[in-house]
Amino acid sequence: MASNPASTPLRIVVGCDNAGVQYKDALKETLQKHKGVKEVLDVGVKDAKDDKAYPHSAVEAARKVKNGEVSSLLASCRSVSPHREVRY
């Protein structure tokens, strides 16, 4: 008998750069309170003063998905080009 994905508790990884830390923290807090979420791993920066480049957090989070440590990934960042600002 196949398991029902909706009844399987989620394990989620969240990541961000310094521009997305407040949003990531809010998402993390909300997810931790949700009864369908078993665990939330945080690989993002811890505060807005941390200048760790976003790709490092994204790669670490993606590896956790690939390795089966988590089922889902949420990322919050801001990418800036010399010509314009792009928000995702």
| Residue numbers annotated as active site | 77
Q: How far apart are CA 57 and CA 82, in angstroms?
A: 22
CA distances from 52 to 20, 23, 24, 39, 62 (A): 12, 16, 15, 24, 16
